[in-house]
């Protein structure tokens, strides 16, 4: 199963236990495929740099290198017109379209509001874990 992770889920998965962490763990052990685009990867790096400035003892390079190496990179064209209230969030929808992914995991209300756009579901991390990762545990 190929998914797109919003930046807030990636960061939460690195810093905290709970659903975002479970999602990252499932990806690291090969239960999920993570799709990214250059714009998403750029945002991951930009946010991580800001966090490092705020919390100097935290080193996010290892997880970002893993994402760079292990995630599938897709060239995602910009959407013809904005879909989300925050057009900056459209890059996640564009990546989903380019990669053929039908799932974006996000806690961002603007993305959650457009769930269903061209058949792409936007789920909160807890909902994704309960509905999808629980199935992996049964296999």
Q: Is 137 exposed, middle or buried (0-12, 13-18, 19+ CB in 10 A)?
A: exposed
The answer to whether 79 and 89 have CB atoms below 8 angstroms apart is no
Domain of residue 109, CATH code: 3.40.50.1010
* Cβ neighbours of residue 43 closer than 8 Å, sequence gap 6 or more: 7, 91
* Helical axes 38-54 vs 90-99, angle rounded to 10°: 140
Which tokens in the block code for residue 89?
């969030």
- Give residue-wise pLDDT tens across range 59-99: 777 788 889 999 999 999 999 999 999 999 999 999 999 99
- Give residue-wise pLDDT tens across range 30-48: 999 999 999 999 999 999 8
Q: Which of 100, 132, 138 is nearest to 23 (CA)?
A: 132
The answer to whether 12 and 114 have CB atoms below 8 angstroms apart is no
* pTM given for the model: 0.91
Domain that holds residue 58: 2-138
Q: How many domains, in total, are found in the chain? A: 1
pLDDT at 135: 64
């Amino acid at each position: 199963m190929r998914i797109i992770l919003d930046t807030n889920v990636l960061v939460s998965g690195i810093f905290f236990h709970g659903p975002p962490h479970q999602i990252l763990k499932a990806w690291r052990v090969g239960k999920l495929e993570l799709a990214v685009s250059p714009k998403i990867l750029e945002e991951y790096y930009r946010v991580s740099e800001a966090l490092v400035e705020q919390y100097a003892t935290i080193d996010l390079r290892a997880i970002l290198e893993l994402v760079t190496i292990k995630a599938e990179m897709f060239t995602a064209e910009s959407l013809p017109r904005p879909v989300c209230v925050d057009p900056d969030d459209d890059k996640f929808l564009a990546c989903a379209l380019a990669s053929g992914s039908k799932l974006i995991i996000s806690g961002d209300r603007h993305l959650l509001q457009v769930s269903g756009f061209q058949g792409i579901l936007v789920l909160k991390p807890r909902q994704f874990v309960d509905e999808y990762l629980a199935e992996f545990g049964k296999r």
